[in-house]
Amino acid sequence: MKIDDEEREKERQEEEERRLEESRLQDRRLEERRLQDRRLQDRRLQDRRLEERRLQDRRLEEKRLQDRRLEERRLQDRRLEEKRLQDRRLQERHQEDRRAEERRAEQRRAEERRAEERRAEERRAEERRADERRAEERRAEERRRHY
């Protein structure tokens, strides 16, 4: 009888160990599945981001191409317009008129340069006043903090 009890206890323990081992194996398989799922999700996310980047790059390249074509068209139009203007001037004006136009154009450029120099000087003066104002505000703030 004692032997039967010992055998049953031994069988029970073996059964318990087998169940425990099966449980561990199931846990391991579950964890492996979760890891695979996570890797798959990560891969899908990477693929989606890559596809979005490719789409963005393609759109950017299309926009650049469109911009380049537009700029080429504008340049072509500008050259054509300049050519027409040049032809018209050659037909309508003689040499003295052209010289007078060149003198006026040079005067305009000189006036524009002088006006730009004045504007630049005004900007620099405004920046100096702003710098002085900020410095005065900082000093005032420091005095307020000090007292």
21-33 pLDDT per residue, tens: 999 999 999 999 9
Q: Answer yes or no: is 123 within a domain.
A: yes
Q: What average pLDDT does range 109-113 have in this prediction?
A: 96
Percent of the chain residues past pLDDT 70, beyond the cut: 97
Phi and psi at residue 79, in whole multiples of 5°? -65, -40
Give the Å distances, CA to CA, from 124 to 109, 119, 134, 136: 22, 9, 15, 18
Query: 123 with 132: CB under 8 angstroms?
Result: no
Q: Answer yes or no: is 36 within a domain.
A: no
User: Structural domain of residue 146, as residue ranges?
Assistant: 98-147
The residues near 93 (Cβ < 8 Å, ≥ 6 apart) are 101
Look at residue 1 in the predicted model and tell me its pLDDT. Answer: 66
pLDDT digits (tens, 9 = 90+) for 7-21: 888 888 999 999 999
- Kindly report the pTM of this predicted structure: 0.37
Look at residue 39 in the predicted model and tell me its pLDDT. Answer: 96
pLDDT digits (tens, 9 = 90+) for 112-128: 999 999 999 999 999 99
3-state SS track over the chain: CHHHHHHHHHHHHHHHHHHHHHHHHHHHHHHHHHHHHHHHHHHHHHHHHHHHHHHHHHHHHHHHHHHHHHHHHHHHHHHHHHHHHHHHHHHHCCHHHHHHHHHHHHHHHHHHHHHHHHHHHHHHHHHHHHHHHHHHHHHHHHHHHHC
Q: Answer yes or no: is 54 within a domain.
A: no
Burial (Cβ within 10 Å: 0-12, 13-18, ≥19) of residue 134: exposed
pLDDT category at 96 given cuts 50, 70, 90 is: confident
- How many CB atoms neighbour CB 93 within 10 A? 13
Q: Answer yes or no: is 126 within a domain.
A: yes
pLDDT digits (tens, 9 = 90+) for 33-63: 999 999 999 999 999 999 999 999 999 999 9
CA-to-CA distance for 24 and 63, rounded, in angstroms? 58
Q: Answer yes or no: is 21 within a domain.
A: no
Task: Average the pLDDT over each of 3-17, 67-81, 100-114, 117-131 and give the range with the smallest value.
Answer: 3-17
Q: Answer yes or no: is 64 within a domain.
A: no
pLDDT at 97 over 80: no
pLDDT at 2 over 80: no
Structural domain tally of the chain?
1
Q: Answer yes or no: is 135 within a domain.
A: yes
Q: Answer yes or no: is 10 within a domain.
A: no
